[in-house]
Every structure is written in C-alpha cells, then in structure tokens.
C-alpha cells in the first residue's frame, strides 16, 4: 500500500511538471536526492530462522569426552530420552567418539595417511569439475561488474567529420514563399529575397569533437537492486564452487578408502590361496600314502580355483577404483597405478571426531549458504521489478567544439554544449510490468521454500551419517571378534586333520569361514572410514573461508609446453 501511494504521488507530480514547466531548482533537488541516496521501494530482506537442535544425537552413549552425551539424548532433533545404559549395552567403549568440539578444515589429515593428504591437496588444483566451477565464478564476477556499471555516469568521446551538400532548390523555394507571404516588404528586403531565389548552397565541411555524459539518478533503487541481484548471484557461484570442492574431496576420500579396503581384501585372498595351496599339498601327500581318498584332493583344488576367481573379480574392482582416483585429479587411466599400488593398510579412524556445534551447520554447509544467497537475489529482483513502475530520471550532457574548418577546432569560441534531464514514466505496458512483478514474487516464495528444504535435507544427511557411523562401529567390533574365533577354529581343524582326527570337510569349512570373516572385516574397515568421510561431508567438512586462489587454480589448469 505504501508503494502504491508513492507511485500515485509520483504520477501526479510528473503531471504537474508537464503543466507548469520544468525548473532548474527542481532539477537540482532531484540531482541532490539521487546523489544522497534512493528510496528503495522494494521489500526488505529478513534473515530466515534456521531450525537446529541444541545438540547432535551423537549415538555415543555414556562415553562422551565433552560431557554432552546426556543432553544430546534428551534434546536431540528426535526428542529421544534414551538412558545411557541403553547405548553401553551395545558398545561399552566405542573406538571413535563424535564430539561437538570445533571441526578442523582439513579433516582428512585426522587419518594420518600421507598419501591421502597428498591426493586431497591435488584435488584443489587438478580436479576438472572444480576448475569448471572456478571459471563459472569468474563469469559471475564479470556479470557483477557489468551490472554495477550503471551506478556511475557513462562518459564517451566522439569525433566526427561530415561533408554535406544541402538542397539548393529547397532553399530557393523557402525564399520564394517568404517573398509571396510579405508583399508589402520594403524595396531593399524585397530585392534581397528576389535575388536569394537563385541562391546556391555551397558544400559544407563540418568538424566536431565532444564528450557525452549520461547518468541515471537512481531515485527508487532500481540500479541498486540490479547490482545487489548480480552480487548475490556471484556469491551463489562462490558457494557452488566451494560445494564442488568439498564434494570432490569427499569423493577422493571415499574412493581412496575403498581402494585400500579392497587392496587389503586382495592380500587376504592371497593368504587364503597360500593356505589352501598348503592344504592341497597335504591332501596330495596323504592321498599318496593312502590315508585319504581322491575326493579330498579334488575338493581342495575346487576351493583353490574358487579363490582364484574371486581374485580376478577383485583385481578388476581395484583397477576401476584406481582409475576413478585418477579421473578426480584430471589424469588419464592407469596414470596412478604405480603410486596407488604400494602396499598400505586402511587408515585408522581417529579416536575423537570433532563435529562442531549444530548451530554452526548453516554457516558451514555451502548448499545452505547458496540457498540463502539465492533467496537474497530473488528479494533484490522483486525490488528491481517494483522500481520499474516509477519514473526514470536521466541527466545527459555533452561538451565539445563544432567548426566548418579543421584548423578552428579547439578555439574557445567554437565550443558547443548542452545539458538537461529526461523523465520516462511507464503509462501503459500491456500488463508487462505487473506480470514481471508477479513472476519475481513467485520466484522469491519458491526460493524461500527451497531454502527450508535445503536445511531440512542437510539435517537429514547429518543424522543418517551419524547413525551409520555409530552402527558401523558395532558391526566392525563384532566382525573383529568373529575373525579371532574363526582363526582358532581353523587352527584346531588343521591340527585334527593332520592327526587324522577330522576330515577334509572340517578344514575346508573352517578355512572358508575364516576367509569370509576376514573379507567382511576388511570391507568394514573401509566402510568405517568411508562413513566418517561421509559424516564430514554432511557436516560441511573441509569448509574454509579461504579457498585456493582462482588465479592459481586457473593457471594450474593451463596446458604446459616444453
């Protein structure tokens, strides 16, 4: 209502200007108003209220080094009030405890794996998706510069030369009509007009140089809103670039941890192959001695061939993971096989995982920050669309020199100038302005919904990651105990088989169970570490207000010549 009242007042004022004439006093006042500030007729931005629980549901039971475990259970996002003994019944001493201590930027360093740290450092300079996001950011910054140019006067210099021949016939006709229109002219003037009817217009050489200046007085904030929208769009590109970097760093960690887990499984299969090979030799020796039948030997051979088939499948998986890591670094396939083929175990997860405070999540996750910048942009666009309903005041001026001879340019008496304002007021646009305003308001409401959805999705990912990390710890501990039990069972079965107290089936079954348990434990090792990487990614991990300089990144992407 306030904007509508102001709009009607402006229309009435412009009408009065048309009827009474434009005064220099009014022009001066309008100019001072434009230089001093604008009215900003559009809506104001209000910071959205973010929902956040007072504490994470850390799933750590009573083993909280920070002393926040009880409050986390009573006040978490689920409203759970589970007693501490409910968790400790499952896990008396967790291997890795999630805390609400401040989160480190380079979270991958907590694994203490030099190779992983080296790969993560190279992601910021070699990953092609990040380099593409960097170039998109450069485009957004250029668009912001373009949009901001309207805040300043535009100056242009011109130089022209025109050689012209005007119509002599037209000039003669003018003099002829003037003479007929005034029959009572004195003789001298009448003779002059009579002689001028035969006048010839000479060729003219016109020289001109000047400087033009144009400036829109931003009374209603149209230009300011336009610049704000471009600035928020640029910030969206910044957050998108940050989001790409964090995602690619998380991908690198997951691929690397899975690779190390599968390489450990390769070693397990190699050990199993050696074990079964020894059992086959033992069965063949006992067969030659007549202590066992040929069935024992054939069963051992079948088991050996089954392990070899598993090795082939796992070799393919490892090669694919190595190529995935190379792709993340913008390198061709197999280029990192030698570097990644070195024997290394799955990195151990840290005993304490700093997750930061829940209230900090909206400031760490780049997707939430990007959604908020998008909301700011739509509010600015609504303001720009509102300002389009109001008069547009522009001041133009030029100063220069005009002569009929080139050598006279620059003389002070050849100067020419003009200055004056212009007002453009939309009267009838066929509904275009109203449609545009409705469009921008709908976009603003959609951006608000998108922001709420982004925040909710972020908390969903965090809670799922916390739960997965907790459950994998329990799973991992159970598998570790299973491996110990199966090792003892295989040792006992082998001893009994050598002594003739057990059949080959007992040994094969024990060996197969041990191998299966070891493979499951190796997969859990990588899953445990991968779940931690996923948790850090959900928490906006790796977030830092200082990213690799876009100029350095762009230079790193340039092809080198030797």
Cα separation, 152 vs 147, in Å, equals 11
Q: CA–CA separation, 174 vs 304, rounded Å?
A: 115
183: which residues sit within 8 A by CB, 6+ positions away?
none
Phi, psi (degrees; rounded to nearest 5) at 92: -75, -30
Q: Give the C-alpha separation, 123 to 548, whole Å.
A: 10
Q: What is the pLDDT of residue 502?
A: 81
| Per-residue model confidence as pLDDT tens for the chain (562 residues) | 444 444 454 445 444 444 444 444 544 554 555 544 567 888 888 888 877 777 776 655 433 333 333 333 333 333 333 333 333 334 444 556 666 666 667 888 888 899 999 999 999 899 999 999 999 999 999 999 999 998 999 999 988 988 887 776 676 666 666 655 556 656 555 555 555 555 566 788 888 889 999 999 999 999 999 999 999 999 999 999 999 999 999 999 999 999 999 999 999 999 889 988 988 888 888 888 888 788 888 888 998 999 999 999 999 999 999 999 999 999 999 999 989 987 778 888 887 777 777 777 878 889 999 999 999 999 999 999 999 999 999 999 999 998 888 888 878 888 899 999 999 999 988 999 999 999 999 999 999 999 999 999 998 898 898 889 889 988 989 999 999 999 999 899 989 888 888 877 888 888 889 989 999 999 998 898 999 889 888 888 754 544 455 454 455 445 444 4
Could you give the angle at the alpha carbon of 339 between the alpha carbons of 335 and 342, nearest 5°? 140
Compute and round to an integer the Cα radius of gyration of the chain.
41
Contact 269, 314 (CB under 8 A): yes
Give the Cα-Cα-Cα angle 355, 360, 362 (nearest 5 degrees): 115
- Specify the pLDDT at position 187: 56
The predicted pLDDT at position 220 comes to 92
Q: Tell me what pLDDT residue 370 has.
A: 94
Q: Which residue has the tokens 């997750």?
A: 355
Pick from 467, 478, 547: nearest CA to 517: 478
For tokens 């956040």, name the residue: 52
What pLDDT is stored for residue 58 in this prediction?
60
Burial of 37 (0-12, 13-18, 19+ CB in 10 A): exposed
Provide the pLDDT for residue 19.
Answer: 43
Spatial separation of the C-alpha atoms in residues 528 and 261, rounded to whole Å: 10
Whether 140 and 236 have beta carbons less than 8 Å apart is answered as: yes
User: Which residues lie below 8 Å from residue 45, measured CB to CB, with a gap of 6+?
Assistant: 375, 376, 379, 380
Q: Do residues 392 and 216 make contact, with C-beta atoms less than 8 angstroms apart?
A: yes
Burial classification of residue 44, based on how many CB atoms lie within 10 Å of its CB (0-12 exposed, 13-18 middle, 19 or more buried)? exposed
What structural domains and CATH numbers belong to the chain?
Answer: 107-157+220-390+435-557 (1.20.1600.10)
Query: Where do we find the tokens 């060729």?
Result: 203
Q: Encoding tokens for residue 153?
A: 């006067």
Give the separation between CA 494 and CA 291, rounded to whole angstroms: 15
Are 217 and 394 in contact by the 8 Å Cβ rule? The answer is yes
210: helix, coil or strand? strand
Residues 6 or more apart whose Cβ sits within 8 Å of residue 244: 129, 130, 133
Residue 555: predicted pLDDT: 54
pLDDT value for 505: 81
Characterize the bridge pairing of strands 204-217 and 352-354. Answer: unpaired
Helix (H) or strand (E) holding 507: helix 504-538
Element (H, E) at 402: strand 392-403
Which pLDDT value is given to residue 332?
95
**pTM of the complete model:** 0.74
Backbone phi, psi, residue 427, to 5°: -110, -50
Which of 431, 397, 389 has the alpha carbon at shortest distance from 416?
397
Beta strands across the sheet bearing 415-424: 154-164, 204-217, 392-403, 415-424
The whole-angstrom separation of Cα 165 and Cα 312 is 91
Tell me which H or E stretch contains 207.
strand 204-217
């Amino acid at each position: 209502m306030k904007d509508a009242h102001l709009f009607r007042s402006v229309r009435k004022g412009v009408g009065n200007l048309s009827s009474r004439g434009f005064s220099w006093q009014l022009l001066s006042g309008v100019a001072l108003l434009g230089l001093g500030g604008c009215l900003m007729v559009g809506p104001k931005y209000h910071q959205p209220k973010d929902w956040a629980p007072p504490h994470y549901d850390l799933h750590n039971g009573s083993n909280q080094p920070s002393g926040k475990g009880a409050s986390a259970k009573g006040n978490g996002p689920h409203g759970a009030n589970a007693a501490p003994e409910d968790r400790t019944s499952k896990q008396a001493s967790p291997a890795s405890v999630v805390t609400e201590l401040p989160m480190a930027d380079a979270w991958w360093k907590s694994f203490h794996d030099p190779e992983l740290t080296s790969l993560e450092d190279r992601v910021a300079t070699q990953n092609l998706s990040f380099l593409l996001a960097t170039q998109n950011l450069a485009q957004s910054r250029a668009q912001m510069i373009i949009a901001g140019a309207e805040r300043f006067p535009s100056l242009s210099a011109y130089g022209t030369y025109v050689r012209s021949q005007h119509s002599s016939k037209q000039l003669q006709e003018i003099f002829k009509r003037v003479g007929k229109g005034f029959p009572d002219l004195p003789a001298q003037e009448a003779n002059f007009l009579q002689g001028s009817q035969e006048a010839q217009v000479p060729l003219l050489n016109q020289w001109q140089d000047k400087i033009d200046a144009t400036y829109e007085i931003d009374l209603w904030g149209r230009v300011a809103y336009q610049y704000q929208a471009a600035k928020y769009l640029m910030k969206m590109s910044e957050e998108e670039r940050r989001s790409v970097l964090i995602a690619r760093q998380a991908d690198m960690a997951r691929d690397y941890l899975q690779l190390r887990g599968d390489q450990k499984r390769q070693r397990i299969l190699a050990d199993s192959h050696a074990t079964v090979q020894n059992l086959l030799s033992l069965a063949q020796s006992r067969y030659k001695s007549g202590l066992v039948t040929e069935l024992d030997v054939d069963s051992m051979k079948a088991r050996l061939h089954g392990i070899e088939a598993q090795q082939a499948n796992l070799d393919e998986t490892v090669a694919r993971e190595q190529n995935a890591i190379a792709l993340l670094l913008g390198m061709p396939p197999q280029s990192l096989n030698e570097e990644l083929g070195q024997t290394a175990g799955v990195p151990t997860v840290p005993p304490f995982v700093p997750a930061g405070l829940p209230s900090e999540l909206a400031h760490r996750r780049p997707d939430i920050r990007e959604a908020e910048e998008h909301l700011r942009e739509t509010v600015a666009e609504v303001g720009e669309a509102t300002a389009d309903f109001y008069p547009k005041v522009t001041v133009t001026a030029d100063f220069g020199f005009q002569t009929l001879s080139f050598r006279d340019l620059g003389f002070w008496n050849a100067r020419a100038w003009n200055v004056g304002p212009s007002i453009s007021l939309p009267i009838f646009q066929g509904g275009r302005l109203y449609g545009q305003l409705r469009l921008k308001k709908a976009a603003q409401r959609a951006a608000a919904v998108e922001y709420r959805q982004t925040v909710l999705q972020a908390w969903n990912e965090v809670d799922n990651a916390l739960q997965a990390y907790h459950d994998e710890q329990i799973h991992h501990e159970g598998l570790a105990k299973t491996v110990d039990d199966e090792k003892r069972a295989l040792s006992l079965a082998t001893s009994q088989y050598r002594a003739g107290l057990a059949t080959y089936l007992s040994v094969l079954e024990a060996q197969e169970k041990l191998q299966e348990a070891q493979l499951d434990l190796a997969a859990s090792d990588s899953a445990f570490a991968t779940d931690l990487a996923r948790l850090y990614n959900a928490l906006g991990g790796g977030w830092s207000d200082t990213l690799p300089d876009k100029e350095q990144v762009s230079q790193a992407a340039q092809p080198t010549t030797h």
